[in-house]
Structures are given as structure tokens and as C-alpha cells.
Structure 1
């Protein structure tokens, strides 16, 4: 055994290893994977297919792909989207047999997925189902990286199909696991190419890339000083007092501070902070009031760094016109008492819903007004049975009125006629293996049902002259809201241990007076009314006062939309002056 060197003898200098600088991306093994599932909820839905590609240094080392037999049936809409049916997975191995193979395939590698939290959520649920301890995976999310690297000028969005086209992937994503995983590999390598030009060469660099804080952000941390600590709205302003960005939070000061730290991942916020010279704040009674004020301020100021809610006037409606032979007309504003469907966020969505309705109800599709006394030749739609041809006199006002009544009933009540007609076409197209056309029909049906549900939910709330509701707070107090015709007109927060009735009286007495106008949104923006409706459906919210009736059809579109992923309405409670009791 050799003796230790003398303690006073200097040690020779040691050259640092390249490994100390981080793991070069070219040396890291990645497993790029994709899952197909029966739905979007890891706790309820299950995996139907796994596809994975193991890569290192730009080379594909191995691939794996397998169907998985879920413990639940595959919804028809999912089968139309992916092409995976119950018959295809009937003989496939269950996830308990497939998962160990995948975990071994991914051993020692960094996982990669597009929108990784979604796939990892199902992976964790599968691991728990098999009784294994849930590992802590190191992973990359190509969606998150792309949002920092890809500009809006290059691609309208960061969906996998858009990015695969941008980076010229020879593989087209088509909602099958291995194909989508292969396309993600090409996207990952395209992103690496760009990141290399930005000095990102190691895995550690890549993890830190989305957490960078610019010097401009750090220097302006003092802008958060003195802001309220409770709920409210904050407005970033530039040197010319112009509103740059409007936001809301349950704790304004804490939220604004995140804009000057790595907690704010959005790239455009760094540019906004560089321009900001002041932050104004408006304290609010509770979170609902803050959300409503945010919507109103965004609509008023139209801040350049807000992406949503800036132009509520650009919504699109489908109007059932008021004339002897009504038709569907696409309009930008709803200013009368006609029957409206919507609003829609785009013309494309409105046209899709219109197609679903017109395929079920033979309303005329020609433009212009028709008179019972003026005749003209019918178009091809009459020969196809898609129009009753009132233009050439085949249908009079009364006969055509039956179609109008059916369309109005589908919009304001039961959409069953539209759903039945669409389902027949989807089943026929699927039986003929024309899956893409079936998917189009499905999307049109869903667009109509969700728009009808939205309109019915709005009309139910905007028809209430006055509604007072209370939500319990974590401190055992109450958040009060006074709503008139879908508009928040007063808000208050009742401290714990205090009788809420005087507070209710004060909130009503100080509430804003509103004069309802015609149309589906008579006193507020559609988004404001929808925010209020969601708050009213929250846990523990109770009705205190109700002037009028607040209800929607039992067999209406709201119930049908729940089957397509829309949140069903929740029950609330009522206050009788002496205590709280469940509503019927």
C-alpha cells in the first residue's frame, strides 16, 4: 500500500472533463413516443396504442409499436379520428403486458413527446394501474420548445402537423402512435438545428433555455412593489401610458413578480416587460370580479400583448332571418330578437354548424328575400331533396314554416334531429371506410351542438332580471355577486363569522342599473356572461335571490354537448332567509 502524498505537496492541475460542462445533445439517447387513447382523461380513459422511436446523434436506433386492449370501449368519435376500433384491439395485449416492454425500451433515455404532459399523464396512470412505483422521468416537450423557437410568421400554430410541415418531415402525423412519434423525431431534430445556432448544445442548456430571464426583466422587478396582495386586475403600461397587457390574479403582487423571473415562460412577455414603465392595479372583492374587469379592460384598451378577448365584436352568429321564407344568415352582430346560433369564434366554425343544420332541415340556402307572390326557378338543391323550393311555389309559407320551426327547435331546444341526421351519415361513411369524410361530418355535428348549448346557456342567464349568489371562501366567508341580465353589477366579500344578509342588501342597493337591449347578449359581452355562468356552477355556490326563472331545456343541447366533452351544468343551492337548502 502506497503512502499518501505529503499534505504540503501541491497537487498537479487537473484538466476539466467535457462531461462537467453538460451532456451534449448529440450524445444523449432520446425515446420519442406517442400514445393514442380512448379520451382525454387519464383517470377515466385508457391507452389504445403506443409508438416509440429510440434515437441518438440524429440516428434511429430502434422502434416499437403496439396496439393496447383497453378496459373500456373506444368511443365512435375516437375511432373516426384515429381509425382504431374495438375490433382492432380485441386481440391486443392489455397495458399490464405492454408497459414493462415500453419501460425497458425507454430505460436510460430522455423521454420526448409533443405536448408531453398529456402523454406522461396516461403513462403515470398506467404505471399506477400495474402497481409499479411511478418513476421520475426526465423529459422534453417539443410543443413547449417550439413555442419559443417557431415564430407566428413561420407557422400559424405549434401543432404537430404544422411543425412537421415546417421542418419538411416525410412522415405525416395521422393520429396513429408510431407515425406521430416518427414525425416528432423530425420536429425534434429541426428544433435542435435552430437551438444550436442559439448556443444550446447540451441537455442542460435546453432545460434552461425556456427559463431564461432577460436583463430587462430583472431590472424592472421594482414595478411589483406596492401592488395589492389580494385579487384584482393589473395593467402594464409603457412610457406613453398605453396599456400593453391586462391580466388578473388572486394575488396581484405575487403574479406580477413572476413576469420578472423564470416562472414566466411566454416569450412575448419578455418583449412586453422591456417596454413597460408602470404597472397599475385595481383591487377587487373576489376572483370573479377580477375576471370580469379584466375582460372589460381588454375590450376597451385592446392591449397588443393580450391575445384573447380583445375583439368581442368580431364574433360570428348564424341568424334565422325574419321574412316569409327565413334562411340562415351569417352576421357579425346580434341586435334584434331573431333566433341566433352562436356566437362562433370563426367563420369556419359557423359554416360547419350551418352545414350540420342544413343537412338535417331543408331550409333554403339562396340569398336575398323571397316573396310568396314572386316566382323563380329552383336550384339543384331542390332536386337533391335538400330544399323544399319555395322559390318556384312548391312550398307555401305554411309548409315552409314547418322547416323553420324545426330549425328553431334544434337551436333553442332539442338538437336531436341534427344529431340523428349526422350520425346516420357518419355511420354510412365509416362503413365505407371513408374516415376523413366521416370526421368532417362529426366535426360539423359537434360544432352545431356546442354552439346551440352555448346559446341556450347564455339565453337562460341573460333572461334573469336579477340574481344574487354566494360562494364560500376558504376562510369560511362568502363571495357575493349580483347579476342582472348576464352582467355582473355588484360584488362583495363577506368576512367569516358575519351575518351575510346586510351585505346582500347593500350589494343589491349599490348595484349598477342596466337596461337590456335586444339580442343574445343584452347587457354584457358573451365572455363575461359565460364567466359568470361558470362561477355559478362552481362547488358550493348558492342562490340567494332570484327574480324570474333560470332554466334550460331538459332535453336541450346542453345535455347533448356533455357527451362531446362540454361540462354539464351543476346544481346550486338557494337561501330562504333563515338558512341554505339544496335546490330541486
Structure 2
């Protein structure tokens, strides 16, 4: 969830300067107060010899004269002493100032000019906080003197560094108290104080307070208990809190947050299981704000119909045994039609309009169904190579519009072929257990059956994973081969699992199904994914929310 503010060390600083730009000869005084848990822990104050004359108007304002700083330490010595005292590099330490751009800018500029090590700290500006906490109806302006009087600070700003730092401490504490109902309760919340988030929405961040900091699925709920939105996260508490900051840019989600009254979570042992549950819940509940991953069973495939005349056709009901000889799923019917035109133009199959066959143009020849089956089941270069040659010829002839048209059609075919090539190995596999090593040690195990997640497990660091593999094998969900693709798990789930179990970094622990399944777990030599240049600007399935 983050670090509670009571555990944060605030180093509240104020500088007096000569009025010149940041650098090695500007600072005349440093004052700072270190506070934690609402109590003062230490103070720091020193005059500084800037190595340059202090203008008369600055002396009038601050009371600091040239005579006062003659025997003071030079800027480099004073700044080094302050940095050692402040220990800004420590975890959960925040540098605070009123109009922090001025004070922190001078500290950074002097450190840079003098070659001192400056570790960029977390910075909090009480001016920004005050503008969030109190409107002009509360205070006439947000100057330090006005705010100190408003919050009842016993120390009034005097344009001397330590006094101004002490007054800033009281403004800081009062502002934090005022902002607490808006969800500003942790160190991580301070980074979003300047975000343009309505106060009512920010206050709802308390929905996350009781959530676990574990992996799982979250659901935002309406007052009537309807699920408005489903997502997954590695850290449920942190992810839900992030919705109430300016990091959330989606207008539809912002409106949902204004309506939501609660969050329901389901914890999962692994991230991959959380993402699969997210897909399943979106398909089951059809939440109004989840625009993606909906209706996966209605995505079309391109297949060869062998009789009465061989032709390509679309289907949303693909028998499982036909999966090795079909391409898809496509994100839309229009995308399928583009791919179909690309394939038909090379394979010389008669175009099928659902009623009859068009007549061949003079000189055309029909390609056999065998060539079409090869193109659909792994040899996409039978179509891609002639089309690339055609696109090159059109470009050379400066017929760029036609070249772009055929490029778009080829891209649609290749993108769907990539998805088919990734899904096929798992769609035809009755049982597979894959493993990935965890950064913290131990293994993450996943069981996949007929393209569906059947179970997952974690092993502790240093432990023998074999007992966990045996337990996962025996407790994983029993899955019968579905009659059609998508009849058990959605293809989107299968593709997600393929990326986890078959890509680099994963190890196959067990695979059932014989040599045919093992052969299918490798990508074809001429896999469509190798046409990266064509695919690069294409649009495939939408990315996960």
C-alpha cells in the first residue's frame, strides 16, 4: 500500500539568497526543521558567505548584512553540512519547502556548480498543498505569512531561514490534516497532489484501504451491486489506489469511478491466473466499462470449404479438429474479408459470395485445395511471397495506393496467422505443465489442458519443485476436449497462456499427447511472425486494458 505519512521524515527547508540566479554565490542562509510523526526531531541553521556582495534591497528585506556573513562558512561548506544533516537519500525522506521550485532550485544549482553529490529527493511543495487544501474562500492568498496566520502557527515568517522553515512546518501539518479525507495518507499519495483530480474522486481512494497487497482480480461495483469494471493486478491495493490519481486518463473509467461505491477482489496465487480470471469474468459479466476482450466467441476464422467447390469462407464455429487448418481469429469480419481477398488473389480460388461462384477471368487458373490447406496450416509464405513481390512491383511503378491496399490485406492475413500459429499448440494439447523462475526465488507453475488454464501454483525459494508439480497435476481441473474452438476456453485465454508457457523464459515440465503434440509446440520455419516489417504497423487484437 505504501508508507504511512507518520513514518515519513520531512526535511522542511528555507533559504535566503542574494536575489541572484542559482549557483555558487547566491545562498546567504539555510534553515531547516526535521519532523516525523508530527514531532520535531532536529533543527539546522547557518548563515552562509555567498562570496559576493548582498544587495541593499535584500538586506532591507531579510536583515542579513555583508558584515553578518563575513565569518560564515562558504556556500560549499554550508551546503555539504546541510546535506549530511538532512540525509535526503534515505528511504521515506521528503524535502519540503514553500514554493519549492525556488528553494530546491537554489540547492540543486549550488550543488551542481560546486561539484557536490546531489541525490534528487522526493520534493513536496506546501504551496501546491495549500492550494489543494484551502480555496480563496478560506484564505485571500497562499503566501507563507497568510497561511501561517490562518493555521495558527506560533512562529511568524520573518524572511529569516529558520523562522520561515518553522512556520512552514505548521502549514505542512495543517495541510496534511485537511487533505487526509481526500485520500492523502501515504508517501506515494504526495506525488499526485498536483494532479487535476476532483476532490470527491480522490476521497474514494479509501476503497483500497482494506484490500490485500497481493495478486488477483478486482471489480468496481455500482450502488446496485452491478460489476462496472474488471481488472487484474500484481498488487490489488496499489492498483486500485492508482485509479484515483491523474495517472488514470480514460474518461469512461473516470465516470465509472464517480459512480462506483465499492471494490470486490479475488486473490490468486499467480499473475497469469489473475489475468485469465479477468478475461473469464469480462466474458461472463459483460461489464459496461470494459470495452475490450468482450464477445470472444463471435470472432471469425478463415477456413477452406472443400465441397462442392473449394473456396474460402468465414466461420465463428470452428470444430476443434479443423483448428490446424484454419487462420484466426480475426478481430472483425472486415479484417477477415481483407485477408480472404489476399489469399484468393494468389491461390486463384473462386470467390464465394454465399450464393454461387463468380466466373473466372480469362487466363485465370484454379489452385488446388491442397495448396490452400498448406497456406492455412503453416505455409503462409505461399501467399505472402507472391503478394510481397506484387507490392514491390506496384511501388516501383509508383502505384502507391494499390501497393498500400495489398499491404493492408496481407497484414490482416499475417496477423491472424500469427494468432493461429500461437494458439494451435495448446489447442491440441491434452495436458501441459510449464514453469517460470520467480525473481524472488522459487517457481511459478501453470497447468494447461486443451488451451484452458487448469491450475497454477507457486513454490517457495530453495524448495524442490517436484512435489508441487505432482500436486498440480492431481488437483488441476479436469478438462475434456471441446467440440469447437472456444467451447472451453476463449482463444484469447489460449493466446495469453501461449505467451506465458511457450515463449522464452518458460520451461516445459510435462507434455501429454504424443509426438504430434510435441512437434506442434515448435513454431514453423516460415512462421508468419517473421514478417515483422509488414506486421509492425498493423492492428491485431486490442491490447489488454
- TM bucket, shorter chain: 0.5 to 0.7
TM-score (norm 1): 0.56
Residue 327 of structure 2: aligned partner: 341
Q: Report the Cα offset of residue 380 of structure 1.
A: 4.1
Corresponding position: 1:406 with 2:406: no
Counterpart in the other structure of 1:499: 464
CA contact (8 A) 1:217 1:259 kept: no
Residue 479 of structure 2: SS of its match in structure 1? coil
- Structure 1 segment 513-524 matched on structure 2, within 5 A: 513-521=478-486, 523-524=488-489
Which residue does 2:221 correspond to in 1? 237
> Matched residues in 2 for 1:565 and 1:225: separation?
43
Name the SS of the counterpart of 2:220 in structure 1: strand
2:334 aligned with 1:364:
no
Separation in structure 2 between the aligned mates of residue 2 and residue 510 of structure 1, nearest angstrom: 80
1:186-213 Cα deviation digits (max 9, x unpaired): xxxxxxxxxxxxxxxxxxxxxx999421
Q: 1:216 to 1:413 in 2, by over 3 A?
A: same
Note the alpha carbon deviations across 1:168-225, whole angstroms, 9 max, x for none. Answer: xxxxxxxxxxxxxxxxxxxxxxxxxxxxxxxxxxxxxxxx999421233122122112
5+ long unaligned stretches in structure 2: 1-53, 64-191, 537-545
Q: CA deviation at 1:228?
A: 1.5
> SS at 2:511's partner residue?
strand
Describe how 1:83-482 pairs up with structure 2 within 5 A.
Answer: 211-335=195-319, 337-338=321-322, 339-368=325-354, 379-383=358-362, 385=364, 388=366, 403-482=368-447
SS of 1:309's equivalent in the other structure is coil
Question: CA contact under 8 A between 2:350 and 2:358: conserved in structure 1?
Answer: no
Selected match of 2:524 from 554, 572, 578:
554
SS in 1 for 2:313: strand
How far apart in 1 are the matches of 2:235 and 2:303? 42
CA contact (8 A) 1:316 1:342 kept: yes
Distance in structure 1 (CA, Å) of the matches to 2:236 and 2:255: 20
CA RMSD of aligned residues (A): 2.8
CA drift at 1:522: 5.0
3-state SS, counterpart of residue 329 of structure 2: strand
Please tell me whether the aligned partners of residues 450 and 561 of structure 1 are also in contact (alpha carbons under 8 angstroms): no
Q: Is this contact kept in 1: 2:216–2:268, CA < 8 A? A: yes
Q: Residues 217 and 384 of structure 1: is their aligned pair in 2 closer, same or farther, counting only changes over 3 Å?
A: farther
How far apart are the structure 2 equivalents of 1:258 and 1:212?
A: 14
Q: Distance in 1 between matches of 2:55 and 2:319?
A: 95
Which whole-Å deviations, capped at 9, do the CAs of 1:235-288 have from their partners, x for residues lacking one? 001011111000111101000001112222222222111111110011111110
Give the Cα–Cα distance (whole angstroms) in 1 for the partners of residues 251 and 55 of structure 2: 58
Show structure 1 runs of 5+ residues with no match.
11-207, 371-377, 389-401, 567-584
Give the C-alpha shift of residue 515 in structure 1: 1.2
- 1:9 & 1:516 partners in 2: Cα distance? 82
1:562 to partner: Cα distance: 4.4
Q: Distance between the aligned counterparts of 1:247 and 1:281, measured in 2?
A: 10
Give the total of aligned pairs.
348
Rounded to whole Å, the distance in 2 between the matches of 1:359 and 1:458 is: 26
Structure 1: distance between partners of 2:228 and 2:293: 14
